[in-house]
Every structure is written in structure tokens, then in C-alpha cells.
Amino acid sequence: MVSKAQGKSMIKEIVERYRIVEKYPGLIKGLSEQDITTKFVLPMLDALNWDYRKITKDGPEVHEKAYREKSRVVKGLPDIQLESANGNVFVEVKKPPLRGQGMANLERYEDADLTILTSFEDLEVYTHDGKQKPRRRFKSNFKNYIEDFDRLWKILSNTQEGKSSRAGYKSTRKKA
């Protein structure tokens, strides 16, 4: 289990690694969504106490589309699905810059309690209220992840604090 202090330290390392990549525009352009997922997003989820290597009785704790059986990889699945006692968290990974990418996918994921749209460079957290458009609850940039870490931990961590926050979001959903 990753503690909050360990998670913050891990996020610092990931952010520093991304700063190196960001200095070279050619490197950013060369990153695929899979590169962003494996080099930055999955380690970030690990820092938020999600173990993408853990297998539960229902399968992996973190379901990553790239590693699902081919029969399950169909259009409409999120890139990453986090299994939580308080509902599903879907993660959609895009190439930077984020600017509006993936919004159509958010509407498709209306059964998720939280949806994360990220290019790692930017991260946005949305909730879904029935038939209404997704509502942005939190936005950050990799340059602010350390400063915003307490909020990231509170909303997205796989801890009791994170589960309570997600349960609060889930209870305020309007069912259409």
C-alpha cells in the first residue's frame, strides 16, 4: 500500500521525468497514447495507491485496454478502468495537447461515476449526471501536480479518503 507521503514523492519523480520530455517538442510529438499510458499515467495511478499489477477475484484492479483479451477490446471501452467499491472510474488517455480531445468519449461513459481525461500534461476529472453533459470537477496540469497533490489524493486515490469522495460524487448524481 502506498502512503500519501510515498505517493507525493512518486508523483514528483514522474513529473520530473515528464519535464525532461517536455523540453523536446519532437519527443512529445513522438509519444503514442500507449507510451503516455505506460510511462506516465499508470505510474501516476500507482502513486495514488492503485496497483495495476494486482489481480483480484474479479480480475485486475486496473483494467488496461491494451492488455485485455482481443475479444473485449472494442470501440467504446475506456483506456483504463479502475475497479472501486464505490463505482467505476474510467480513464481516457490522449496525446497532448488535451484541448477538447476525448469529449465525445466522456458522454459515452455516462455509467462511470468519475471519468478522467488526461494527456498526463493535463488532467481533468468529470462526473456524470444522468442525461446531462459531463461536469468538470477538477482540472490540473503536470506543473501543478505536486501543489495539487492533496486534492488528487482526495479524489483519485485508492484509499478510504478517495473512496469516500467518490461515494459523495456518486450520491449527488441525478438519475434521469
Q: What angle do CA 129, 45, 9 make, to 5 degrees?
A: 130
- How many CB atoms are closer than 10 A to CB 139? 14
Specify the DSSP class assigned to residue 134.
P
pLDDT recorded at residue 87 = 66
pLDDT recorded at residue 135 = 84
Reported as type and span, the H/E element at residue 137 is strand 135-141
Tell me how far apart the terminal alpha carbons of the chain are, to the nearest angstrom: 38
pLDDT recorded at residue 173 = 62
Mean pLDDT of 27-33: 86
Quick one: what percent of the chain has pLDDT higher than 90?
36
CA distance 34 to 160: 30
- pLDDT (tens digit per residue) in 96-138: 877 776 676 677 777 777 889 999 999 999 887 666 778 888 9
pLDDT recorded at residue 72 = 43
pLDDT recorded at residue 128 = 76
Query: For residue 77, is pLDDT > 80?
Result: no
Query: For residue 36, is pLDDT > 50?
Result: yes
- pLDDT (tens digit per residue) in 142-155: 999 999 999 999 99
Report residue 172's pLDDT band, with 50, 70 and 90 as the boundaries: low
- Measured CA distances, 172 to 113, 127, 130 (Å): 10, 10, 11
Query: For residue 48, is pLDDT > 90?
Result: yes
CA distance 142 to 55: 29
CB neighbour list of residue 167: distance below 8 Å, 6 or more residues apart: 86, 87
